[in-house]
Amino acid sequence: MNISRHHLLGRLLSWLPGKGSTPGNFQRRRSSPGRRRPVPRGSHVLDVLVKSTRQQQLERSQRWRRGLKWGGLIAATVALAASSHQAVARYFWQNPEFQLASSAEIRTNGTLTHDDIMRAAELTETTHIYAVDLRIAREKLEALPNVRHATVERELPGRLVIEIDERLPVMWLSCDQPSLQPFTTNSAQGACLLDEDGHLFVCRELRTELMRLPVLHLRRLPNSQPGVQLNSAAVQTGLDLLTHLRHAFGSRALDVVEIDAPNDWSLVAKFTNDLSVTFGYDELGQQIDRLLKVIDHSSERNLRLGTVNMLPRKNVPVTFLEDAVVPVTAGPPDLNGVTLPVSSRPTAPRPTAASEEAAQLEAILGGGR
């Protein structure tokens, strides 16, 4: 049997007499703390440290104290969170000062009322300002046909500001096909308004300023859905003509009543003084300049214009309310092709045959009474 030198030496030393030693056992020497006796190579030593009962009790009490400490800390945190939630719910979410009834500010430049805006954004007076989704509210407001742009913002500490940029109406829209009627709030009959860009929207409330707006009359309209922009030549030229006329006649107290589009090349503007002027689609500024000269010249001669056709560049046909059509070829040289009657007073109209027969019949019947 092959026995290593270390094992043989250990057996021999075990038989030596010593204090507290027994045969077959090693005597463990006391070593300084933190220093262990080197273990012989090839041997297996089990170092078991047995704790005393007192030490076990101390460690158990320390664990209890740590458990109580952490348990109290957790309980205090939960209680603080619960009380904070109740305080926030009571003094913040349930605070009437943060509700839209008292903290909402609505600004608009048009006809939409406070209730209309709140209803369109699906908000109520009891809605909390911090419960409002700003993006969704803005998108709902901008979906309205008569709203060009909308902003919804929160101003700290507690205020909701809604600003509406409405499309301001400049004209009513009238049409034959489909049948659209102006000066009404019934969407089934029409009630269509146009802004300066040609966007179509429905009138919700008739007011005095809306009743004074002119009418754009069309023969046919492909799309009459609210919110669309009408890009047809008749609509865009009619709006452009209205802008030019208002700029030209601003100081003359002459308002446009209606702009009619009878065909694809002309527009007829009707004014409050029973004047009707036919315009072409091109060079509106030059046509209006010539019209102003016609009006000034007729005013100097005390003539009341009935119709003026601005389509011809020369020899402009002009009629007067007291006379028939007067196509005069001669005119003052400073009118640039505009022709007016030579006489300063209109001649009295001759009675027609129908009027003479009516007078004779009235005389006969009167003499038979």
For 271-320, write each residue's pLDDT tens digit.
988 999 999 999 999 999 999 999 998 889 898 999 999 999 888 899 98
CA distance 152 to 137: 7
Q: Are residues 162 and 177 in the same domain?
A: no
| pLDDT for the residue numbered 32 | 54
Residue 322 and residue 186 in one domain? yes
How many domains, in total, are found in the chain? 2
Q: Do 175 and 322 belong to one domain?
A: yes
Q: Are residues 112 and 239 in the same domain?
A: no
Q: Please report whether residue 359 resides in a domain.
A: no
Q: Would residue 180 count as lying in a domain? A: yes
Give the DSSP H/E element, type plus range, for residue 102: helix 100-103
Q: CA 247 to CA 266: how far, in whole Å?
A: 20
- Which residue carries 């041997």 as its tokens? 43
Sign, CA dihedral 106-110-112-113, equals positive
pLDDT the model gives residue 344: 34
Tokens describing residue 257: 């009543």
Residue 95's CB: how many other CB atoms inside 10 A?
A: 15
Tens place of pLDDT for every residue, the chain, 369 residues? 555 555 666 666 666 655 544 444 444 555 555 556 666 666 665 656 666 787 878 888 888 888 888 888 888 888 777 767 666 656 656 677 778 887 889 999 988 889 999 999 999 888 888 889 999 999 999 999 989 999 999 987 778 999 999 999 999 999 999 999 999 999 889 999 999 999 999 998 888 899 999 999 999 998 888 889 999 999 999 999 999 999 988 766 678 999 999 999 999 999 988 999 999 999 999 999 999 999 998 889 898 999 999 999 888 899 988 644 444 433 333 444 444 443 333 333 434 444 454 454 444 444 433
At 165 the pLDDT is 94
Q: What is residue 258's three-state secondary structure?
A: strand
Residues 326, 278 share a domain: yes
In a domain, 266, yes or no: yes
How is 129-185 classified by DSSP, letter by letter? GGG--HHHHHHHHHTSTTEEEEEEEEETTTEEEEEEEEPPP-EEEEEEETTBBSS--
Q: Which amino acid is at 367?
A: G
* Structural domain includes residue 74: no
Residue of 78, 100, 221, 219 whose CA lies nearest to 161? 100
Please indicate, yes or no, whether residues 189 and 299 belong to a single structural domain of this protein.
yes
Domain that holds residue 200: 171-335
- For position 290, which CATH number holds? 3.40.50.11690
Q: What confidence score (pLDDT) does residue 218 get? A: 95
Query: Which of 132, 166, 200 marks a domain boundary?
Result: 166
Q: Which of 146, 166, 186 is the last residue of a domain?
A: 166
C-alpha 202/C-alpha 257 separation (Å) is: 20
Structural domain includes residue 367: no
Q: What is the pLDDT of residue 243?
A: 93
Whether 43 maps to a domain, the answer reads no
Smallest CA-to-CA distance from 248 within 287, 219, 217 is with 287
Question: What is the β-pairing status of strands 215-220 and 171-177?
Answer: parallel
Rounded to an integer, what distance in angstroms lies between the CA atom of residue 114 and that of residue 220?
A: 36
**What radius of gyration, in Å, describes the C-alpha atoms of the chain?**
50
Q: Calculate the CA 78 to chain-centre distance.
A: 45
What does the pLDDT read at residue 326?
44
- Between the alpha carbon of residue 326 and those of residues 196, 295, 308, 317, 338, the distances in Å are 36, 15, 10, 7, 12
Q: Is the same domain home to 123 and 223?
A: no
* Domain presence at residue 355: no
Within this chain, do residues 220 and 328 fall inside the same structural domain, yes or no?
A: yes
For residue 152, the model assigns a pLDDT of 94
Q: What is the pLDDT of residue 339?
A: 44
What pLDDT is recorded for position 59?
Answer: 82
Backbone angles phi, psi at 267, to 5 degrees: -130, 140
Please give the pLDDT value at position 102: 79
Same domain, yes or no, for 159 and 181? no
DSSP code of 214? -
Residues 296, 226 share a domain = yes
Whether cis (ω within 30° of 0) applies to the bond prior to 222 is no
Do 239 and 120 share a structural domain?
no
Exposure letters 72-91 (e unless 16+ CB within 10 A, then b): eeeeeeeeeeeeeeeeeeee
Does one domain contain both 312 and 232?
yes
For residue 229, count other CB atoms closer than 10 A to its CB.
Answer: 13
Say which CATH number the domain at 115 has: 3.10.20.310
55 falls within a domain: no
The predicted structure's pLDDT at residue 363: 46
Dist CA 134 CA 117 (whole Å): 14
